[in-house]
Each structure stands twice: as structure tokens, then as C-alpha cells.
Structure 1
């Protein structure tokens, strides 16, 4: 099986002000999307992992 891919630079992407993200049209008809990781989690909290570890014997 052959794998085909292109390398793209951010200058090739278009900016969408509504979603505040960069996108690049994919040959399949969809879009590659790049987002701002600082805004991605804005306002969300992620719980810390539990420190209670229970050992399971197999």
C-alpha cells in the first residue's frame, strides 16, 4: 500500500475569524484544522488523576 502526503506550512492555511482557527482544504473534500491550544481548553477544568491506586492481581 502506498502512502501519499504533502508537507504544508502555516502560510498555506487560511484563517477563519469565526472559529479563530487555521484550515487547509484536503483533497478528500474535508479540511485540516489547526487551533490555538491555549484557547482550546479555555474555561474548562481537567480533574487531577486519582492517587488511589488499587493493585489487581491477574
Structure 2
């Protein structure tokens, strides 16, 4: 079972329209990241590439419409 560090609303993430990813600051100094396509596919876990922390993204499918 994966250990979730926190649950973060999608509105608190920043969206990079070039890379099509959502990012949120991680306590380690890097950023949690999850791709728009992953969210569309039902994934809701953003991971930090520098440490083992993960956060759950809280969103509704209609929240993604403004990013496509």
C-alpha cells in the first residue's frame, strides 16, 4: 500500500501548459508532478521525483476541462 503524504486540491497545483503537467511544492525542495493525461485516465497520485513522498490530487473530471 502506498503512503500518501497529503491530499491537495487541484486548484492549489500550478499547471504547465507546455509540458501538460500539474506541479506542487514538496517539502524536500522539489515538486510533486502529475500529467494532465494521467488525471484524465483516473490517476490521482502525484509523486516527487527527488524523494519518496506522494500526494493525492483532489479533483472532479470536469475540473480538467479548462486545461484541455
What is the TM-score when the length of structure 2 is the normalising length? 0.44
Bigger fraction of residues in helix: 2
Please say which structure displays the higher CA radius of gyration: 1
- The structure showing larger relative contact order (alpha-carbon pairs under 8 Å, at least 6 residues apart) is 2
